[in-house]
Structures are given as structure tokens and as C-alpha cells.
């Protein structure tokens, strides 16, 4: 038997990620890894930030007209580092969004249903996947913060639609 009361918080987010092509493609809502009331949302060409659990947002980064923000991730080990996948490329900040650098693409970039994930313990280890990428260009890894990429796509992924990544920590 459980005693006491159950408390809950009504989720009243004022901005939602982009969706496209009948909800087949979608953006992301990211909750800051250190602060539960800080949200990030990609909407149109802007990465938005909320400091009050989504009640209101301010523009965090604008990637230019038509350059839709799709997916992004923040390094838990260094919250100044973020990677953003947009319609026209992959961007990185190392100063919490003050400046952004467009990274060199590892292959012909297919932004729809692409995803990015950062190793929680190492901000320079980043993976991207592209569901609509060529059969031999679906999953890539970088160990130097996106300066170079290793193709992790193997024949096991032939015919597979890889559209989401999740970093599993540990050594095995």
C-alpha cells in the first residue's frame, strides 16, 4: 500500500516541432540534460529555447530561411556543445549557441528522417543516421566532433529504414 499523494504537472508546451509529409518526418523536442525546465524545439529554420518548461520560447539559433531544423542533440558532458541537423546540413556549436559551424557532410545528405546522438560522456563522439540515405550510407560515427566521419553502414542494414538513434552507454 502506498500512502501520501501523487503530484503531477500539466504539460502546457506552447511550441511543437515541425512535421512534414503527413507526419512521416518530424522534428524534436529536447529537454536539457541538466535542467528539467529548459526545452529546445526546432520549428521552421529556428532552434527555440524555453526556460520555463515550454510556456514561452525565445529564438536560440536561426539557420536561415528555408533551412528547416529537424533533429539535434546536446552533449551531456559539455552542455556548450550541440549538433543540429537542418535541411541543408549539419551544424555544431561549442559555445552554447553563440556561434555555429557547418560541418562537412559524410555522404550525400538526406535530411528527412535523419537523426543525431552524442555520447553522454564524450562531446566529440557523435553519430548520425539517414533513413533515406543510399544503401551504403545510412549510419556514420565521428570521434573528432564531426571533422571526419566513419561509415558504419554494413550489409546488415540493406533495405532497413534507420531513422532514430539512441546512445547506449557502457563498454559492452
What is the reported pTM? 0.84
Burial of 157 (0-12, 13-18, 19+ CB in 10 A): middle
Helix (H, G, I), strand (E, B) or coil at 31: strand
Cα distance between residue 28 and residue 16, in whole Å = 8
Which positions ≥6 away from 2 have C-beta within 8 Å?
A: none
Give residue 143's pLDDT: 96
Cα distance between residue 70 and residue 91, in whole Å = 11
DSSP secondary structure string for all residues of 23-88 = TTEE--EEE-SS-TT-EEEEETTEEEEESSTTSS-EEEEE--TT--EEEEEE-SS-TT-EEEEETT
Confidence of residue 167 (pLDDT cuts 50, 70, 90): confident
Give residue 172's pLDDT: 60
DSSP assignment, residue 103?
P
Residue 83 cell numbers, joined: 549538433
What radius of gyration do the chain's Cα atoms show? Answer: 17
The answer for 143, left when phi > 0, alpha when psi is -120 to 50, beta otherwise, is alpha
Confidence of residue 26 (pLDDT cuts 50, 70, 90): low
- Residue with more model confidence, 12 or 37: 37
Helix, strand, coil proportions of the chain in percent (round to 5)?
A: 0, 35, 65
In degrees, rounded to 5, the angle at the alpha carbon of residue 110 between the alpha carbons of residues 100 and 162 is 110
Question: pLDDT tens-digit profile of 93-142?
Answer: 999 999 999 998 887 777 777 889 999 999 999 999 887 777 677 788 99
DSSP assignment, residue 15?
-
Amino acid at each position: 500500500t502506498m500512502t501520501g499523494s501523487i503530484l503531477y504537472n500539466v504539460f502546457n508546451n506552447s511550441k511543437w516541432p515541425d512535421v512534414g509529409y503527413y507526419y512521416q518526418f518530424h522534428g524534436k523536442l529536447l529537454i536539457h540534460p541538466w535542467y528539467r525546465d529548459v526545452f529546445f524545439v526546432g520549428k521552421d529554420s529556428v532552434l527555440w529555447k524555453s526556460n520555463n518548461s515550454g510556456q514561452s520560447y525565445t529564438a536560440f539559433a536561426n539557420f536561415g530561411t528555408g533551412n528547416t531544423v529537424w533533429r539535434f542533440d546536446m552533449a551531456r558532458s559539455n552542455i556548450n556543445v550541440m549538433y543540429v541537423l537542418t535541411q541543408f546540413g549539419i551544424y555544431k556549436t561549442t559555445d552554447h549557441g553563440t556561434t555555429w559551424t557547418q560541418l562537412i557532410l559524410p555522404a550525400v545528405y538526406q535530411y528527412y528522417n535523419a537523426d543525431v546522438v552524442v555520447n553522454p560522456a564524450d562531446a566529440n563522439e557523435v553519430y548520425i543516421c539517414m533513413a533515406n540515405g543510399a544503401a551504403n550510407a545510412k549510419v556514420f560515427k565521428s570521434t573528432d566532433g564531426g571533422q571526419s566521419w566513419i561509415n558504419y553502414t554494413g550489409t546488415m542494414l540493406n533495405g532497413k529504414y534507420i531513422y532514430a538513434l539512441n546512445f547506449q552507454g557502457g563498454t559492452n
